[in-house]
A and B are shown apart, each in its own frame.
Chain A
Amino acid sequence: MNSKLLLFILTLLNSTFVFAYENEFALKGGFSTAFSHLKYIDHSQDNALGIGFNTNFGYKFKRWEFNLTSFIAFGEMEKLTYQIGNTRVQGEGSFNHVNFAPTARYYFDVKENGNWKCYLSVGPVWSLNTFKLEDFTIESGAYKEEYRYSYTSRGWLVALGFEEGLATKYLKPTFIEFLYSYQTAYEIALLDNSDFKNVETLNTDKVRTNIYTSIFMINFGIVFF
Chain B
Amino acid sequence: MLKISILIVFSLFSGFIHGEESNPTRDAMWHYEYIDRNHEKSETWKHLGIIYAASWALYPLTQPTVFKDNGSFKNYGNNFGEVVFDRDTPFWNWLVHPISGSQLYLYYRANGYNRIDSVGLTFISSTLFEFTVEVYTEPASIQDLYQTPILGSILGYGIENLSLWLLNTNHPIAKFLGHTLNPSTMFGFFEGKVRTVPSLDGKGGAGVTFIYEF
Contacts and interface: CB of A to CB of B under 8 A. Distances in A.
Nearest to A28: B154
A199 B154 contact: no
A27 B147 contact: no
Interface of B: 65-66, 85, 87-93, 115-116, 119-120, 142-143, 146-147, 150-151, 153-154, 157
Contact of B150 (A55, A130, A193): A55
Contact of B153 (A27, A128, A150, A199): A27
B85 A128 contact: yes
Pairs A-B, 7 closest by C-beta atoms? A128-B85, A225-B115, A25-B116, A196-B89, A199-B87, A55-B150, A152-B85
Nearest to B120: A25
B151 to A, nearest CB: 7
Interface string A169-210: 000000000000000000001010100111101000000000
Contacts, number: 54
A29 B93 CA distance: 17
Given A27-B154, A225-B157, A57 B89 contact: no
Given A29-B154, A198-B66, A225-B157, A150 B87 contact: yes
Interface in A115-155: 126, 128, 130, 150, 152
22 contacts: A25-B120, A27-B115, A27-B150, A27-B154, A57-B119, A57-B150, A68-B146, A68-B150, A96-B90, A98-B93, A100-B146, A126-B142, A128-B143, A150-B87, A152-B85, A189-B87, A197-B89, A197-B91, A224-B154, A224-B157, A225-B115, A225-B116
